[in-house]
A and B are shown apart, each in its own frame.
Chain A
Amino acid sequence: MIPLTVIGGFLGAGKTTLVNHLLATGGKRWGVLVNDFGAINVDAALIAASDGQTMALTNGCVCCNMGDDLGDGLAAMAARIPPPEHVIVEASGVGDPWRIAQMALIEPGFTLEPLVVLVDATALPAQLDDHWTGDTVARQLAFAEIVVITKIDLADAAQLAMVHARIAQLRPQARVIETAHASLPETALGFTPPARPPASRFQADEITHAFPTQRIAADQPFDRDRLRWVLGMLPASVLRLKGVCLLGTDRVLLQYAAERWAFSPAPNGLANGLVAIGTPQMPDLELLFSEAR
């Protein structure tokens, strides 16, 4: 299973800067799908090969043009030898990143990481109030799990407070991170926050909350209809649920995100058991899931 991170955010929010930073620093074999291949700007010495659609870097990373069909792009990533360790999809500046994130639920071989949405500290309130772009920007934030406020060095304290207030109004479940240059360490993009403050301009003390996890036993088979009922009942504080379980006699992989879920045949090598990731408001789920057994 390849972790998949979708990065959304309006034009100018810093998505490409973040992608450039991740590619240049390596650290992992990133596979990146981008909308605008021409905007990718890495040191020429890092480029091992490029054909205008795919760029392979000497640090093992690869960057590909998304093309018309995201599924095609993901399938091509998964088929690479060796496959990337983590795939990042840069959503279009006017796209809905949640629509893209749902692809990871049905595309075999991928597991959905937090939905990351970037916002420009100097521009977000005006974008939300603009009659042409307001609903687009609000929709991008609607399912965000990590909101990264960029360009904080260009905003004053009052502006920044306003940006926080607008995000909290639209998506209180999200973890909010501030940065000056969108050059975040990759650990900031996971559900698990970094163990110690990283040595960059990323401000770890601005994390508003961690994402608690719960383990749900899945040794006993679930009843198909009752499990579907339980999944339909999960509150918005449950952000993810994933793992292998028995559905009747079938051994399946379950992936859940924001009221949507998909079952696929379980890959070999994973033990039975589900993990839920949520906001601090997530209730104890054991009682609910006992209804499905």
Chain B
Amino acid sequence: MTKNPKVTVFSARRVVTLDPSQPISTHVAVRDGRIIGHGGPEVVGQFGGTLDARFADKVIVPGFIEGHGHATDGLMWRSPYVGYFARTAPDGTRQGGFRSVAEVVGHLKAIEATMPPGKPLVSWGFDPIYFDGPRLTVADLDIIAPDRMVVVAHVSGHILNVNTKVLIAAGFSADSNVDGLVRGQNGQLTGELQGPAVMGRANRATGDGGLLRELDVEGLRDYGRIARRVGVTTSTDLANAMTPANVTAMRTATAEPDFPIRLVPAMRAREYSIEDGLARIAELRKLSTPTLQFGLVKLVVDGSIQGFTARLRWPGYHNGAPNGLWYISPAELEATVKAYHAAGHHLHIHTNGDEASELATEMIGRAIEAHPRADHRHTLQHCQMADGGIFRRMKAFGMCVNLFANHLYYWGDQHARHTMGPSRVRRLDACNTALSRGVPLAIHSDTPVTPLDPRFTMWCAVNRLSATGVVLGEAERITQAQALHAVTLGAAYTLKMDHLIGSIEVGKYADFAVLDDDPLTVDPTAIKDIPVVATVMGGQVFATS
């Protein structure tokens, strides 16, 4: 065949294709941003391409897909991160990794010294669960800056620590007794504020909500930087209000020639009446491009397990805490699911507790009975406590699941002790049960709740180790091949994009993650440490450094 200047052939040590007709290749040919062929060295001649051998000793896999992320991760880094677990900022620096209150205080003190007077110091990601020694107190934060408001937001999202200046500005007195004001042995306030009522009051006092910013173009660019470093070429933004400003920012960023990911935002249904929401999503669908796909609709049924706001079936919370509250009533959920289902839309439904998963499954079943419809792919997101019975019904109704595999590592120890107890914790994010009951599976990070990194998400699902190194539910481990599928083709299926992305097959977008080793054959405990060398999105190479 004559030379075709439009064809590039990438060679690699291995190309893990997930193409059932040829699972492993060494060369992949790309034209016009799409895959035109793959196989052995003969591919170069077959398509008249130019060989690009820069990845010749690397492993190419389908670009990773984050099926449940939030692009707001790109905004968080405008405030200092003070977490226990180190994570990578958009500029590539490693941040956090603090092991004690003293380290956090020292870090904030250094930042404070560089700040202009008057501006509140708001930090995020604080995670003291694994700290030895005393808890963070108001006195610690007063040492950082007696004259400046200081706020430390916990990674859980349910707690703030503040200094005396914030307590006074918010009008919180040690003599008061309202839910959410934590006090120490001496009866004085510790500066720890729990729950939205007192947290909201403190945020208004600082005048810097800070951590609840609107998406903007620079934030999306930063999210793209975070994503490409970990091999991600497509990510959802799973709770988007779809305000005109949000939509404009997404259209602008994803149209930039060097934007490294495809973005799949989900419209938050509760922002709209059912009628307005149906009109809005129909209008948005028309704006889809190859790098920005609209169509998902997000519903939220309950809260979180670690926040004790998830809805659980019997026997409820292990420590006896009362059941969480519904975020939407069963009747409203039924009406909403039916309306979007009947209009042909694609629902992604947040359920954490098993009662919430049971309810959402029931309502989808009723919607299908009223409006039979094949291939809807409605997906339960998180679905952390579903058991075999719920997964069997989900299969019967044609539903998909995206399990929160990372959660097991970050909160598994807490769930074993406080929320689920030692038996039920074994079925937290039950990947093997889902697959063996035939439910299409994706796994996710929920970034910024846990760091975006599909290598780590695979590692969690394969090993099921908690942060203290305990195996939780060995029988729910999945294989490396199943885990790779869950962060590529499996996730693409839940987004109705499996005909476009998720595997290396002729006709699909040329979206790859280039790795230093093969996630299928590397030691299972080393999956999370495989270096990502580059990503390729639509045929364009993005170096990770």
Interface residues of B (CB under 8 A from A): 171-173, 175-179, 187, 196-198, 200-201, 204, 273, 322-323, 325-332, 355, 359
Contacts and interface: CB of A to CB of B under 8 A. Distances in A.
Interface of A: 10-11, 36, 38, 69-72, 75, 93-96, 99, 102-103, 105-108, 132-133, 135-136, 139, 224-225, 227-228, 231-232, 247, 252, 259-265
A72 B176 contact: no
Contact of B176 (A94, A108, A263): A263
Contacts of B175: 224, 227-228, 247, 252, 263
B328 A94 contact: yes
B204 A261 contact: no
Given A106-B172, A247-B175, A264-B173, A69 B329 contact: no
Residue from the set B171, B273, B355 with the largest chain A CB neighbour count within 10 Å: B171
B329 A10 contact: yes
A262 B181 CA distance: 11
A135 B355 CA distance: 13
A95 B329 CA distance: 9
Contacts of A247: 175
A10 B329 CA distance: 9
13 contacts: A96-B325, A99-B179, A99-B197, A106-B172, A106-B176, A107-B201, A225-B187, A227-B175, A247-B175, A259-B177, A261-B177, A262-B173, A262-B177
A94 B326 contact: yes
Contact of B171 (A93, A108, A228): A108
B135 to A, nearest CB: 23
Contacts of B200: 69-72
B176 A95 contact: no
Contacts of A265: 171
A264 B198 CA distance: 14
Residue from the set B179, B197, B204, B273 with the largest chain A CB neighbour count within 10 Å: B197
A107 B197 CA distance: 10
Contact of A75 (B196, B204, B325): B204
A252 B173 CA distance: 11
A71 B177 contact: no
Residue from the set B173, B175, B179, B327 with the largest chain A CB neighbour count within 10 Å: B175
A106 B197 contact: yes
Nearest to B198: A106
Given A224-B175, A260-B177, A94 B201 contact: no
A35 to B, nearest CB: 10
B299 to A, nearest CB: 14
Given A132-B355, A132-B359, A103 B273 contact: no
A11 B329 CA distance: 8
Nearest to B180: A102
Nearest to B172: A106
Nearest to B332: A11
A69 B196 contact: yes
Given A11-B332, A38-B273, A105 B326 contact: no
Residue from the set A69, A105, A108 with the largest chain B CB neighbour count within 10 Å: A69
Given A136-B326, A261-B176, A261-B178, A106 B332 contact: no
B184 to A, nearest CB: 15
B178 A262 contact: yes
Given A103-B197, A136-B325, A263 B173 contact: yes
Contacts of B332: 11, 93
Contacts of A107: 201
A39 to B, nearest CB: 9
Contacts of B327: 94
Contacts of A252: 173, 175
B490 to A, nearest CB: 30
Nearest to A133: B330
A132 B171 CA distance: 38
Contact of B204 (A72, A94, A95, A99): A72
Contacts of B178: 102, 105-106, 260-262
Given A72-B200, A72-B204, A95-B325, A132 B173 contact: no
A94 B309 CA distance: 13
B197 A102 contact: yes
A99 B196 CA distance: 10
Given A133-B329, A262-B176, 8 more contacts: A95-B325, A102-B179, A132-B330, A132-B359, A135-B322, A136-B325, A231-B177, A260-B179
A93 B333 CA distance: 12
A260 B198 CA distance: 14
A93 B329 contact: yes
A33 to B, nearest CB: 14
A228 B331 CA distance: 43
B312 to A, nearest CB: 11
A232 B187 CA distance: 13
A258 B261 CA distance: 53
Nearest to B355: A132
A87 B323 CA distance: 30
A94 B329 contact: yes
Residue from the set A95, A99, A132 with the largest chain B CB neighbour count within 10 Å: A132
Given A132-B355, A135-B323, A71 B201 contact: yes
Contacts of B172: 106
A69 B219 CA distance: 24
B278 to A, nearest CB: 14
Contacts of A72: 200, 204
A225 B173 CA distance: 13
A184 B329 CA distance: 26
B133 to A, nearest CB: 29
